[in-house]
Homo-oligomer: A and B are copies of this chain.
């Protein structure tokens, strides 16, 4: 790896002419894919165009990725890794208390979907089988594990007699977040309009849900 010597930005342009070797083509291709997905969705992204965008011949990408799908899967993998980091930071081990931390977690979820639509769709909407690679599946599970950890902390606050399964709680919160994000959370033309922000909608939904679980601190009057 000689990346440190040849660190380069995205496409050709800023940085003057490059030599015969790109130096960091794999990285540049990942960024190109991200850019193209953001522009036209995971469907409208081609291997050839990624190469062009990276300023390289159409044969070059084959040195780094078997095919288009492998590149896409790598984008999704990286997306899960970032997602995990973002969610973990927001959750912050449930400090100062689980409810406040969960609120941040929801906001972070929506912010990720909004500001990284390309990652988000590679991860959840590109139809990449999780079986593509063990690495991908594990990265996805680590991201989900943050939600699950949050659910466990919440459930631990409840009296054992009326404690729901933490896994189920995590799945509910994930589903609601994903539903809000994909229906209302993005800037596409395909977006549905809404009388409130997606963040607010999600926050209100989670509060109602938690109250339903019996978490008494979770808002004592109906939200609106």
Q: How many copies does the complex hold?
A: 2
The residue on B at minimum CB distance from A204 is B168
Contact A127 B188 (CB under 8 A): yes
Interface mask (A42-72 → B, CB under 8 Å = 1, otherwise 0): 1100000000000000000000000000000
A183 at the interface (CB under 8 A from B): yes
Contacting residues, chain B, for A172 (C-beta < 8 A): 176, 201, 204-205, 208
Q: Give the residue among A164, A202, A210, A222 with the most B Cβ atoms within 10 A.
A: A222
Shortest distance between the CB of A207 and any CB in chain B (Å): 8
Contact B195 A162 (CB under 8 A): no
A213 at the interface (CB under 8 A from B): yes
Contact A130 B183 (CB under 8 A): no
Q: How distant is the Cα of A223 from the Cα of B209 in the complex, in angstroms?
A: 13
Interface size on A, residues (CB 8 A): 52
Contact A174 B179 (CB under 8 A): yes
A7 at the interface (CB under 8 A from B): no
Contacting residues, chain B, for A131 (C-beta < 8 A): 189
Q: Contacts A174-B183, A208-B212, A208-B213; is A189 near B125 (CB within 8 Å)?
A: no
Contacting residues, chain B, for A130 (C-beta < 8 A): 190, 192
15 other A-B residue contacts (CB within 8 Å) besides A43-B43, A176-B176, A212-B212 = A41-B127, A130-B192, A131-B189, A167-B195, A168-B223, A171-B184, A172-B205, A175-B180, A175-B183, A175-B202, A176-B179, A178-B182, A179-B179, A205-B209, A207-B212
Interface residues of A (CB under 8 A from B): 41-43, 124-125, 127-131, 162-165, 167-168, 171-172, 174-180, 182-184, 188-190, 192, 194-196, 201-202, 204-205, 207-214, 218, 221-224
The 7 A-B pairs at the shortest CB distance, nearest first, are namely A179-B179, A212-B212, A175-B179, A43-B43, A211-B212, A208-B212, A129-B189
